[in-house]
Structure 1
Amino acid sequence: MKLIQFIIICVLVFRCNNLKETAEKIEISEDKTFGELTFLIDGYAKNTLQKGNINSIALAVYKDGKTYQNYYGEIENGKKNTPNDSSLYEIASITKTFTGALISKAVLSGVISLDDDIRKYLGDDYKNLEFEGQPITIKHLLTHSLGLKSKTTKGLQTYYNRLKNGDENAEYTIQDLLEDLKNVEVVNKPGTKFMYNNIGPEILASILEKVNKKSFKTQIKELFSEIGMNNTFLNESEKFKANLVKGNRDGKPAMTDYCPIYGAAGGAISTLPDMAKYMQYLIESKNKPWVKEASRSLFEDKEDDENIGYLWQNIGVGEEEGYYYSKTGTSKGIQSGLLICPDSDYGIVVIINNVSESAFNDWANLFFTEIEADLIKYPKLNLASKLKHSFLRNSENTFKEFRELKTDTAKYFINLRSLNNFGYQLLNENKQKKAVDFFIHLTKEYPENANFYDSLAEAYFITEDYNNALNSYKKSLVLDPENENAKKYINKIEKLILEKS
């Protein structure tokens, strides 16, 4: 990418800074119970930041017509630059869902069919795009099941390598892709094996231009306008650089992602309010024909545990949440995720500006173990999370209140995993005595829970209180004779005690 002159940058900075003025604010509900829920969510986010693997978090939740969004942390440590409504994020592969939406509209209007051979739109120069008589179809492009030997083309890989090496003049166009497609190998029957790729969405964008007779970018803009996403842009990272959130990869500043061709596979940037609007639109418009079509399953690869349709992934039906579908996006420095549960009327957006294994694990735990668990049960509140805030002040009073409130099953539910996780959080924060105290209280409250005794034993072991650790592991083993972890540590502790005697 060529450098922009200083005067142009100044103009764009002024324009970008006005994004906040044009962005519609998401209405925050004043409902008291919903307020208690969002208080818990704030606590989850702040505790996640304290682990030190994530710089900042932007999140939004939707439940039963109510929406909440908030920002936490700093984009750059020590600079006090908390994200805001003008902050633009690279949402990477979530972009694919917009491409899928346009295809669903085209299918419903009859201009294309899911079973169309893609060579119908590419021409006659692609004899190679089939396997044993089975051609690659529109459906295969949507479901990452093209059957290609490689998930990319040689030319596209060369482009990525040039970018990685700092070549700002690297380019890769639709003409380059179409030429490369003449040489790819189809080694599996299309529609039988999932292999994630960025080729399919770009081919789909080219097909959309041909059948709708307008540019892909124009079609995307019209879709954004329909949804109300006025601050979401395609392949314009350089233009809005002043508001683009800086990402981090493994503790180092990450490069901006530049997507070639149309950007249909991952070139969108968006604000949190716009992502919240997208989430809300998909839930509240779940019966709209194109939304219904775009969110249905088209292909399941049981071997890879993938259920996919119109470029959405992780489609399924949960015992509590009902039908759900989701999409994640990972750029060079930004991790994002969007979960839609139309049957249970809730959705989640969580974006962080860190990409590393530890950051991803913290992001996933915040997303699915903490936030989603509470949204599924709402309007009931997670009593375990509610009382975690008071435990450090007075453990006895906290558990006294716990015993009083847990009988109110109309208002509260208890997530035992959440309780156990809090004990380990204390351990990870080097609050070992507090952790031991917490697990002791848990075993008193739930004397038949083998896992709580196992956790108490581990806390004792970490504090080198081997006798109590041994007794707790033995209690855990009595309650759960299949507890291999307890068996292993009982042998280990008995050897340690013998060596000390």
Structure 2
Amino acid sequence: MPSSMPHSTVAVVLGTLCVSLPAVAAPAKPATAWLARPSEAARVARVEAGLKPISLPGEAPTTLSLQRWMALYDVPGLSIAVFDRGSLVWAKGYGVKRAGTEDAVTPDTRFQAASISKPISALATLHHAEANKWSLDEDVNARLVSWKVPENDLTREQKVTLRRILSHSAGLTVHGFRGYAAGQPVPTLLQVLDGAPPANSSPVRVDILPGSQMRYSGGGYTVVQQLLEDQLHRPFARIMQETIIAPLGLKHSTFEQPLPAALAAQAATGTLDGGASVTGDFHVYPERAAAGLWTTPSDLARIAMEVSKAYQGKSRRVLSQAMVKQMLSPQPTGQFGLGFALPGGGRFAHGGGNEGFRCILLADPATGSGVAVMTNSDNGSRLFDRILDAVATEYGWKDFAPKGGRLDETFDLLVRSKGIDAGIAWLQSKPTLQEGDTLSPSLLNEIGYARLNGGKTADALKAFEANVALFPQDANAHDSLGEGYLKAGRKSEAAASYKKSLELDPKNTNAVKVLKELGAVTP
């Protein structure tokens, strides 16, 4: 199965990178930019020109403009906001809202924030906790009314609490959500929590001892959404409007799902790998707390600046300094605070990925500086490190941007430019990894699903088979190989792969389900 959120991608094979790059159309008219002051124009230009080149094995480094990087990765639209020392210094849109059109992205264009919804939802939850509405450390079932976390031996030993949910350590299932395409029935929140039709996700349940380890759970934030609605007796979108959006003056943000028709003209259309638009423009996410925010980089910047001001003791419009410091303190089970990821150096961050959208927010609360980037493409995240590094270099932010190698990026470009065989051969031949590189099963898994969903089943099988060879003890690698074999009509081999996956992970309910459908005996 996909390593994280599913990617409905269409593969693209380009010519050799250093020989033939995609032609880039002239910028859409009108050009769209907003600058806080004219002096920033030169800095914006240096950021755009300062993107690090990349070298393919055996080839000279190639420097590309931001627009050419966007074209290479089929990213039709991108929006950036930079804030420095507590002020929003510039924001700019690039490209178009929908692939194949001339409707330009502006700083006011709304994108799906995906999982960045989680820390924003956490802000509202902590606000109401601080107002003595509830404790972060009590059993959430004491506050849930419409639905309860089902009890089992694990919950009798340790309770599911808000602190644990917000830090992804409550032991709850369901990593992320796929959303619902245009025309599909959309489940209620209770149906999502129980995995009942028409929900396309599994039930939210406890299967790890609460408090024992960190495991990312969008399902947990869906429990938070139900708790807020039960306690405040209002729809979640209205709660967020009253608690966060209105107090912070966020004029281009909403948690309403589906997006109201009146706002559709301001919204970007999601784009799949390969450049095809998402059917119906974008998916609907009833899991609002986990994935439902529509916003702009400028509004994300305003949220991050408010968190920073509260951290510095200069504001308490949403949270006190003491509560923000709790929010930005690592919890015992991992590199998460209460909502935000904590990548080190005192900074807070979160990324997001919905169908056809990728985004990131990274900030330093001590200085009130940071950057937000939003894209309408499944490939948008491939631009993030390069943009963050260029911004940090220009503004002199020390140790701000991600460091380390580009293994996944190089691999992806090799596959795009020279084919799956060349990419796999290079990956298998690497004698050592650079600092920051991580060779994990998700790398080949993601490429495999991009090929599988793009109709290139033979290439997908090559990726999945190489993944199993590199990571023979990874249950998900065998599960994905089984799906590839099934798509190719090789049912006996699919059954063998699913059985191996189930042997390695007895909790793999997907393998059990498929094996039953195949009429195979499960171990």
Select the residue among 177, 194, 203 that pairs with 2:193: 177
CA deviation after TM superposition for structure 1 residue 185, in Å: 5.2
Is residue 116 from structure 1 mapped to residue 144 from structure 2 by the alignment?
no
> Which residue among 40, 48, 53 is the counterpart of 2:66?
48
1:73/1:106 Cα in 2 relative to 1: closer, same or farther (>3 Å)? same
Letter in 2 for 1:346: S
**Equivalent residue for 1:282, pick from 307, 310, 324:** 307
- For the 8 Å contact 1:128–1:182, the answer to whether it is kept is no
The answer to which structure has the higher strand fraction is 1
Q: Does 1:74 align with 2:96?
A: yes
The corresponding residue for 2:184 is 168
What residue number does 1:225 align with? Answer: 246
| Residue in 1 that maps onto 2:374 | 351
Aligned pair in 2 of structure 1 residues 93, 182: CA closer, same or farther (>3 Å)?
closer
CA displacement 1:389-448 (0-9 Å, x = unmatched): xxxxxxxxxxxxxxxxxxxxxxxxxxx999xxxxxxxxxxx9xxxxxxxxxxxxxxxxxx
- Measured against aligned partners, the alpha-carbon deviations of 1:98-132 in whole angstroms (never above 9, x if no partner) come to 21011111221222111111121236783227346
Whole-Å separation in 2 of the counterparts to 1:237 and 1:371: 32
2:79 corresponds in structure 1 to 58
Q: Which of the numbers 36, 39, 42 marks the counterpart of 2:45?
A: 39
Give the structure 2 partner of residue 458 of structure 1: none
Q: CA deviation at 1:175?
A: 5.7
CA contact (8 A) 1:142 1:311 kept: yes
Q: Distance in 2 between matches of 1:103 and 1:131?
A: 22
Q: CA deviation at 1:371?
A: 1.7
The AA in structure 1 aligned to 2:246 is S
Structure 1 gaps of 5+ residues are 1-24, 379-415, 419-429, 431-450, 452-501
Q: 1:115 to 1:279 in 2, by over 3 A?
A: closer
Q: 2:36 aligns to what?
A: 28
State whether residues 114 and 290 of structure 2, in contact with CA within 8 Å, keep that contact through their aligned partners in structure 1: yes
8 Å contact from structure 1 (residues 151, 195) kept in 2: no
Q: Which residue of 2 aligns with 1:128?
A: 152
Q: State the alpha-carbon separation in 1 of the partners of residues 166 and 235 from structure 2.
A: 20
| CA distance in structure 1 between the aligned counterparts of 2:66 and 2:216, rounded to whole angstroms | 30
Q: 2:166 aligns with which of 136, 142, 145?
A: 142
The match for 1:365 is 386
C-alpha contact 1:205 1:216 (8 A) present in aligned 2: yes
Q: Distance in 1 between matches of 2:335 and 2:214?
A: 9
**Of 297, 300, 324, the match for 2:347:** 324
| Structure 2 residue identity aligned to 1:265 | A
CA contact (8 A) 1:282 1:340 kept: no
1:186 aligns with 2:236: no
Name the structure with the higher helix share. Answer: 1
Which one of the candidate residues 126, 132, 145 is aligned to 1:104? 126
CA distance in 2, matches of 1:119, 1:246: 38
- Residues 79 and 215 of structure 1, relative CA distance in 2, 3 Å threshold: closer
Distance 1:267 1:360, change over 3 A: same
Query: Percent identical across equivalent pairs?
Result: 17
Task: Select which of 315, 328, 337 maps to 2:360.
Answer: 337
Q: Which amino acid aligns with 1:243?
A: Q
TM-score by structure 2 length? 0.57
In structure 1, what is the Cα distance between the partners aligned to 2:250 and 2:38? Answer: 24
> Is residue 326–residue 340 contact of structure 1 (8 Å, CA) maintained in 2?
yes
Match of 1:299 among 331, 337, 354: 331
> What is the DSSP-based 3-state SS (H/G/I as helix, E as strand, rest coil) of the residue aligned with 2:65?
helix
Give the conservation status (yes or no) of the 8 Å contact 1:29–1:66. Answer: no
Indicate conservation of the 8 Å contact 2:79/2:107, yes or no.
no
Aligned partners of 1:337, 1:214: CA distance in 2, in Å?
29
1:304-337 alpha-carbon deviations (Å, 9 max, x no partner) = xx41122211x1542xxxx210111111111111
The answer to which structure, 1 or 2, has the higher relative contact order (CA under 8 A, 6+ apart) is 2
In the TM superposition, what are the counterparts of 1:195-206 in structure 2 within 5 Å?
A: 195-206=215-226
Contact 2:174–2:202 at 8 Å: present in 1 too? Answer: no
- Aligned-partner residue type, residue 173 of structure 1: L
* Larger CA Rg, structure 1 vs 2: 1
Shift of 1:191: 1.7
CA distance in 2, matches of 1:182, 1:35: 49
Secondary structure of 2:335's match? Answer: strand
Contact 2:308–2:367, Cα closer than 8 Å, also in 1: no
Q: For residues 179 and 121 of structure 1, what CA distance do their matches in structure 2 show?
A: 21
TM-aligned CA deviation for residue 230 of structure 1? 2.0
Query: How far apart, in 2, do the equivalents of 1:215 and 1:221 lie?
Result: 10
Question: Is contact 1:128–1:184 with CA below 8 Å preserved after alignment?
Answer: no
Given the superposition, is the C-alpha separation of residues 300 and 77 from structure 1 closer, same or farther in structure 2, using an over 3 Å criterion? Answer: same
* Inter-partner Cα distance in structure 2 for 1:126 and 1:350: 38
Size of the aligned set, in residue pairs, is 337
